[in-house]
């Protein structure tokens, strides 16, 4: 019984040290420079990635609706909501984004976006 507990503990430690998702397979980190999020749906990155974090900063006094989605055949949104004035930091813990990431906001001058993840 003690060996089973010890083995389980060692496996958990090894998994936590190896990183999450793509990182354990030698993936490389990426980040997209802070940029205004356009009003038309635009590709942020065009290959499958593992999304870690998105930062959205609404620099106006008005609410703005934004969409962030993957680029698979039937895209799946990870964010489709209003961004109120201020800073939003969203953690995605390595969510797989098949074929990349696309985004847009209703007003192309209101929201600055920044994306981090692994390839």
Contact between 80 and 103 under an 8 Å Cβ cutoff? The reply is: no
Q: What is the pLDDT of residue 15?
A: 47
pLDDT value, residue 12: 47
Query: What topology does CATH give the domain 2-118?
Result: Jelly Rolls (2.60.120)
Pick the closest to residue 118 from 46, 49, 25, 44 (CA basis): 49
Q: Which conformational region is residue 25 in: left (phi greater than 0), alpha (psi within -120 to 50 degrees), or beta?
A: alpha
Give the predicted TM-score (pTM) of the model.
0.78
Strands 64-70 and 101-105: antiparallel
* Residue 3 pLDDT: 56
Q: Locate the domains of the chain by residue range.
A: 2-118
Q: pLDDT truncated to tens, each residue of the chain (119 aa)?
A: 555 444 454 454 444 444 454 454 668 999 999 999 999 999 999 999 999 999 999 999 999 999 999 999 999 999 999 999 999 999 999 999 999 999 999 999 999 999 999 99
């Amino acid at each position: 019984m003690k060996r089973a507990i010890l083995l389980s503990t060692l496996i958990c430690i090894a998994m936590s040290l190896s990183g999450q998702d793509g990182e354990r397979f030698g993936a490389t980190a990426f980040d997209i420079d802070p940029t205004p999020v356009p009003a038309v749906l635009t590709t942020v990155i065009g290959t499958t990635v593992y999304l870690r974090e998105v930062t959205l900063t609404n620099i106006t006094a008005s609410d703005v609706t934004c969409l962030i989605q993957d680029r698979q055949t039937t895209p799946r949104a990870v964010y489709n909501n209003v961004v109120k004035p201020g800073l939003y930091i969203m953690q995605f813990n390595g969510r797989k984004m098949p074929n990349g990431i696309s985004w847009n906001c209703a007003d192309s001058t209101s929201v600055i976006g920044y994306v981090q993840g692994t390839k």
